[in-house]
Structure 1
Amino acid sequence: MSDSSRITRRDVLKRTSAAAAGFAAAPWIIPSTAFGANERITVGCIGLRNQGKGNLQRFLKAGCNVAAVCDVDSDVRAKAAKIVTDRNRSVDEYGDYLELLDRKDLDAVVITTPDHWHALMTIHACQAGKDVYCEKPLSLTIAEGRRMVQAARENNRVVQTGSQQRSSKEFWTACTLVRNGVIGKVETVLAGINKPNHPGELGPDTEPPAVLDYDRWLGPAPWRNYNEKRVHYNFRFWWDYSGGQMTNFGAHHLDIAQWGLGTDDTGPIATEGTATFHTKGYHEVTETCRITHTYANGVKLIAGQGQKDIPGGTTFIGTKGRIYVNRGKLRVEPEELLEQDVAALPEQLIRSTNHTANFLECMRTREKPICDVEIGHRSATVCHLGNIVARLGRSIKWDPQTEQIVGDAEAQEMTDKAYRKPWSRTQPFATAKS
């Protein structure tokens, strides 16, 4: 390719917002061959187990230069590095994410850690000048989410929340139909979430394995002795690190509810409900729950865990019909409501068929991605409000403008958490790295 015809990253960054609008209709990835050897988007991946490994592979497939990997487990880190080197590419390994963020050659970072690390890493990445792809749920607490939004905006960073359902056709179709009033006025939305799949009784605490930097795994969370059934995948069943299936699957199905309701920039005004917990304490998070969120327009969003009348996924119930959507499933009642050109309806939602590609394209255009940090924060907030009600056993009133729980100091205190020293909720990257 001649110098006059070769596309550079600088050229792509100059694309207008019209190009981003075109991507919304038909996402695309510029292959790595379209750039010079040093002009591909360069990425660092933080957190490399399970979904982290999958994200690493997705960014490699998208043509990114994965130049750095970071994990507090040296075995996991080495296996991830091998995935990169097997493609005849070099990669550096890190046990400390601050060292990775200090690299000047990284355009973006992919954060796939336990939830309690999402906020601090995202904020520091934004302050270090990196765009961020952060897995869902965006935050561990409501206040953390707002700080993440502020960091993204103050540093002009693109931050994509890893709620991949927004990039699947069935969810886009369902929400487009709802937003265009095809099922009439929405009265109720059901969001069915999974029950816990914790491996069972904890057993005795032990010393952490030599390959795991357990102190760094805990990070800002309170100190607890090591137990294999509290770490890695099992982190999601303990309040110190996660919010259970309410934030795990809720961050998917409640997110779709928010999208369909058009409430990506707000939330409910009141939350009530009940929950049960494991009788032997095998985990801390909810075993079952039925949580009702009420919006200012009267719509009820009911999150159900272990509820026979609430199927997994999201169900919109309107005055003229209903729509049920889950991964690979879309049912519309009556069926003839689907016999129309959805893409021709007046209100069109952002369209993406590849969540990674959408993020990379927005890095180039500087447009907001399909699940921007504000959207991820607002959807996580609904999940967190449900957990607060479940844990307290009483209803709360929520002001989505001020993001404060009204008239309940104890509940309001649960919207944030103190960090274990030396980690700090407010220490900027510039001083944290030193």
Structure 2
Amino acid sequence: MTTRHDLSRRGLLKAAAASAGAIAFPTIVPASALGRDEKAAPSDRVVVGCIGTGGRGRGLIGMFMGQPDVQLAAVCDVDASHRAQGKQEVDERAGNADCASYHDFRELLARDDVEAVIVATPDHWHGIASVAAAEAGKDIYCEKPLTNTVAEGRAIVDAVERHGRILQVGSHERSGDNARYACELVRNGRIGRIRSVRINLPDTDSHHEEAKAHAGAAAPEAIPEGFDYDFWLGHTPRVPYLEDRCHFWWRFQLAYGGGEMTDRGAHVIDIAQLGLGADHTGPVHVEARGRRGEGLYDAFWDYEFTNTYADGVTLIGSTQGPRGLKFEGEDGWIFVEIHGGRLEASSPSLLEEPIGPDEIHLGRSPGHQRNFLDCVRSRTRPVAPAEAGHRTATICHLNNIAMLVGTPLAWDPEAEQVTNCEEANRLLSPAMRKPWRL
């Protein structure tokens, strides 16, 4: 196991936990630990590796390397082109050629110097990669949604707890001040008892329209040189290579992603869970209907869903805009825009109310990547821990499953089982293609 940071030895201030351990305050890196380029001295840096260096992976490389106390030591991708682009991104930012590159993520995880990893693979790889990282003693920043199946999500939560790891889900809306303030207002009763939360997941962006217009199945194509397609497929069924199956477009195929339901639902539903104080649980009844795509892109479009919690609160979702969520209470409402953070309320003065010292405080995040790094140092809980990400992803998956089986689902959030449909239960944990397993 990698030796963790000793904050006192390295002259760092311990991070204090906000609101009963909700999040960690920013770690303060003393000026004496910074070099002339405002970067931390090598002995004070968190050594990070990145698994998956497509567009999102390279974006996260930039975000992490923008922090003063990060050394990005290694990248990994099964596509040689992406792998080379990832290494180039790191080397150009670091001003050297020291970044190692790997084809197999297990080689990266075997490095003793790597303390934390970014998992920015397609969704179907999050489970195996994150569990392996936890078992290797690494802390993990895993992109949202946490996983592509319910069983994989629980496996990650269990592995992180068993090995004492820090995991931050990439649901970065949780780090927004406005979103956290809105959730504080809701949880402190400013709009009365919550009746429902409206979930808006519009599917009319240009990439949605392009996916909807896809012509369907096509003849198999030659696998590009340098792309380990079988490794990319991983535990999913072996199917012929198509360029349109991979790189970005995987998100609209249920074997690898969950469509807009999990892509942006992992943000919008996540803030609903935070506002309801439901990070440890979920609804007990799930109804959903929508139009399944034909051909290659088989995710759902134009859907509606109603998810009911044990206390009667409902999530009422659709593909209408604007993207975000609306908490509806007996005494008013609050709307939170996703990817922008704009707030609206039934009364403008509501958004000016202070949160009293004896009320529920959710704390503030210094930024999603910064919060993760602070928690790596302090060993405190991040703003988007594994359990919260798993519960959010589970709701998304249950909506997709309800549409697949065509019947409402009775869900036991404690046992994490559907109690009225065995077909739905089987979809919680699809079989994995050998040799991959959790």
Please, what TM-score do these two structures have when normalized by structure 1? Answer: 0.91
- Which residue in 2 is equivalent to 1:75? 81
Q: Do the aligned partners of 2:49 and 2:73 also contact (CA within 8 Å) in 1?
A: yes
Task: Tell me the secondary structure at the aligned position of residue 85 of structure 1.
Answer: helix
Q: Do the aligned partners of 1:15 and 1:365 also contact (CA within 8 Å) in 2?
A: no
Give how far 1:28 is off. 5.0
Correspondence 1:296 to 2:304:
no
Task: Tell me the secondary structure at the aligned position of residue 117 of structure 2.
Answer: strand
| Residues 81 and 54 of structure 1: CA distance in aligned 2, closer, same or farther (over 3 Å) | same
| Residues 333 and 377 of structure 1: CA distance in aligned 2, closer, same or farther (over 3 Å) | same
Match of 2:282 among 256, 261, 267: 267
Correspondence 1:36 to 2:76:
no
Match of 2:361 among 345, 348, 352: 348
- Which residue in 2 is equivalent to 1:314? 325
Q: Do the aligned partners of 2:24 and 2:374 also contact (CA within 8 Å) in 1?
A: no
Structure 2 CA distance for aligned equivalents of residues 116 and 324 of structure 1: 32
| Residues 11 and 191 of structure 1: CA distance in aligned 2, closer, same or farther (over 3 Å) | farther
Task: Tell me the secondary structure at the aligned position of residue 38 of structure 1.
Answer: helix
Letter aligned with residue 324 of structure 1: F
| Residues 116 and 198 of structure 1: CA distance in aligned 2, closer, same or farther (over 3 Å) | farther
Structure 1 CA distance for aligned equivalents of residues 51 and 356 of structure 2: 37
In the alignment of these two chains, the number of paired residues is 415
Correspondence 1:400 to 2:426:
no
Q: Do the aligned partners of 1:20 and 1:367 also contact (CA within 8 Å) in 2?
A: no
Task: Tell me the secondary structure at the aligned position of residue 288 of structure 1.
Answer: strand
Letter aligned with residue 93 of structure 1: S
Letter aligned with residue 75 of structure 2: V
Give how far 1:201 is off. 2.0
The residue correspondences of 1:33-432 to structure 2 (distance < 5 A) are 33=34, 35-63=40-68, 64-86=70-92, 87-89=94-96, 90-195=98-203, 196-199=208-211, 200-202=214-216, 203-278=218-293, 280-305=294-319, 307=320, 311-326=322-337, 327-328=339-340, 329-342=342-355, 346-425=359-438
Task: Tell me the secondary structure at the aligned position of residue 229 of structure 1.
Answer: helix
| Residues 190 and 23 of structure 1: CA distance in aligned 2, closer, same or farther (over 3 Å) | closer
Q: Do the aligned partners of 1:290 and 1:302 also contact (CA within 8 Å) in 2?
A: yes
Give runs of ≥4 in structure 1 deviating > 6 Å.
Answer: 20-23
Could you tell me which runs of 5 or more consecutive residues in structure 2 were left unpaired when the two chains were aligned. none
Give how far 1:385 is off. 0.7
Give how far 1:322 is off. 0.6
1:95-117 superposed Cα distances (whole Å, 9 cap, x missing partner):
10011101011000000000000
Task: Tell me the secondary structure at the aligned position of residue 116 of structure 1.
Answer: helix
| Residues 12 and 254 of structure 1: CA distance in aligned 2, closer, same or farther (over 3 Å) | farther
Q: Do the aligned partners of 2:12 and 2:29 also contact (CA within 8 Å) in 1?
A: no
| Residues 184 and 12 of structure 1: CA distance in aligned 2, closer, same or farther (over 3 Å) | farther
Structure 2 CA distance for aligned equivalents of residues 23 and 81 of structure 1: 35
Structure 1 CA distance for aligned equivalents of residues 245 and 328 of structure 2: 38
Structure 2 CA distance for aligned equivalents of residues 25 and 371 of structure 1: 12
Moved more, 215-224 or 17-26: 17-26
- Kindly report the root-mean-square deviation, in angstroms, between the aligned alpha carbons of the 2 structures: 2.2
Give how far 1:13 is off. 9.8
Q: Do the aligned partners of 1:9 and 1:40 also contact (CA within 8 Å) in 2?
A: no
Give how far 1:127 is off. 0.4
Structure 2 CA distance for aligned equivalents of residues 343 and 111 of structure 1: 38
Give how far 1:170 is off. 1.6
1:359-391 superposed Cα distances (whole Å, 9 cap, x missing partner):
001011111110000110011011111111111
Structure 1 CA distance for aligned equivalents of residues 86 and 300 of structure 2: 33
Structure 1 CA distance for aligned equivalents of residues 250 and 111 of structure 2: 29
| Residues 147 and 23 of structure 1: CA distance in aligned 2, closer, same or farther (over 3 Å) | closer
Q: Do the aligned partners of 1:68 and 1:94 also contact (CA within 8 Å) in 2?
A: yes
Give how far 1:276 is off. 1.1
1:170-227 superposed Cα distances (whole Å, 9 cap, x missing partner):
2111111111111111101011113234442243320111021111111111111111
Letter aligned with residue 145 of structure 1: G
Letter aligned with residue 26 of structure 2: P
Task: Tell me the secondary structure at the aligned position of residue 267 of structure 1.
Answer: coil
Q: Do the aligned partners of 1:23 and 1:352 also contact (CA within 8 Å) in 2?
A: no
Q: Do the aligned partners of 1:168 and 1:353 also contact (CA within 8 Å) in 2?
A: no
Please, what TM-score do these two structures have when normalized by structure 2? Answer: 0.90
Structure 1 CA distance for aligned equivalents of residues 358 and 327 of structure 2: 18
Task: Tell me the secondary structure at the aligned position of residue 245 of structure 2.
Answer: coil
Structure 1 CA distance for aligned equivalents of residues 15 and 7 of structure 2: 16
Task: Tell me the secondary structure at the aligned position of residue 275 of structure 1.
Answer: strand
- Which residue in 2 is equivalent to 1:27? 26
Sequence identity of aligned pairs in percent? Answer: 40
Q: Do the aligned partners of 1:20 and 1:365 also contact (CA within 8 Å) in 2?
A: no
Task: Tell me the secondary structure at the aligned position of residue 301 of structure 1.
Answer: strand
Could you tell me which runs of 5 or more consecutive residues in structure 1 were left unpaired when the two chains were aligned. 1-6, 426-434
Q: Do the aligned partners of 2:18 and 2:363 also contact (CA within 8 Å) in 1?
A: no
Give how far 1:304 is off. 1.1
Letter aligned with residue 36 of structure 1: A
1:311-353 superposed Cα distances (whole Å, 9 cap, x missing partner):
3211101111111111321101111212322475711013213
